[in-house]
Amino acid sequence: MKIWTRILLLVMIPVLLSGCMDRIDLEDATLALMTAVDLNEKNELLFYISSPVFSHEAKKKAEQFGVKADTMRGARIEYDRLVTALTVAGTAHLISMCS
């Protein structure tokens, strides 16, 4: 019985710990909860995101960023240059097209 317990333990530890390798703390991530796309007077695309701030010391509980880009991917690259944390894709809950 002891041998089966050890085998089970050796199999379960790597399975249970494998989910911790790519963990990102909320304080180290920028979650884009709202995304807006607009055109300026020169018909250039402007992308905006609004992101909550997860810090007790922060005076503002949300951050807004705006960039000029040709695609959403290009906008995300520009956001990564602007923000202090990693921009997490796939978290936008509201996408707005301004007119």
From the list 60, 57, 58, 79, the residue with the least C-alpha distance to 68 is: 79
17-75 tens-digit pLDDT: 766 667 777 777 777 778 888 998 898 899 998 888 877 777 888 888 899 999 888 88
Q: What is the mean pLDDT of the chain?
A: 80
pTM score of the predicted model: 0.63
Sign of CA dihedral 29, 71, 37, 92: negative
For the chain, the structural domain boundaries read 22-97
